[in-house]
Amino acid sequence: MKIFLDFDDVLFNTKAFKKDLIAIFKKNKVSKKDFLATYKDYPTVTKKGLQKYDPFEQIKRLKEKLSVNGVKIKKDLLHFLAKSSDYLFKDVKKFLQKFDKKDLYLVSYGQTGFQDKKIANCDLEKYFRKIIVTDKMKAEVIKRLVGQKEKFVFVDDRVDQIEAVKKKFP
């Protein structure tokens, strides 16, 4: 049976990651208020679907607004991303080892450059048949990977993603 797992807040401690991400910006003279103001430039839902967080675009906006050193923030961000594995929940690898690689799929929603780096630096490839970062609803991705009547498991923390999968696969 195929098992589809989300990344953020399922395998990865996004809350702790975001806290430390904010600290990187603060270290570079960006207040939490300014960080959150530009971070929230991304509405959760748009006419095109869910909006993705892109820290590199955020750096550009902050550079325009505050005249911060965008090159230094980007360098610090890339260094921080290299340590993404520190934010995996402690039991994730032990949990993933219990399953056959051929059954596991990681399906993550996000801005591909940023999300790809975050996931790649967690060294999870050996556990998954396929790792997919998408800007579409996950139900669309799953639809391409399962047969008409095939049973599967889907684990996600977002209600909208879960509801979309339930609707597509009643």
Residues 34-54: pLDDT tens digits? 998 888 654 455 666 666 788
pLDDT in tens, the chain (170 residues): 999 999 999 999 999 999 999 999 999 999 999 998 888 654 455 666 666 788 998 999 899 989 899 999 999 999 999 999 999 999 999 999 999 999 999 999 987 788 999 999 999 999 999 999 998 899 999 999 998 889 999 999 999 999 999 999 98
Report DSSP letters for 145-168, one per residue: HS-TT--EEEE-S-HHHHHHHHHH
Give per-residue burial for 149-168: e unless 16+ CB within 10 Å, then b.
eeebebebebeebbebbeee
Q: Which residue, 127, 163, 141, 149, is CA-closest to 1?
A: 149
Q: Is the dihedral of CA 59, 30, 36, 67 positive or negative?
A: negative
SS3 26: helix
Residues 133-154: pLDDT tens digits? 998 899 999 999 998 889 999 9
pLDDT of 127 = 98
CATH class label, 2-12+88-168: alpha beta
Question: What's the whole-model pTM score?
Answer: 0.89
Residue type, 128: F
Supply the DSSP symbol for 111. Answer: -
pLDDT of 54 = 87
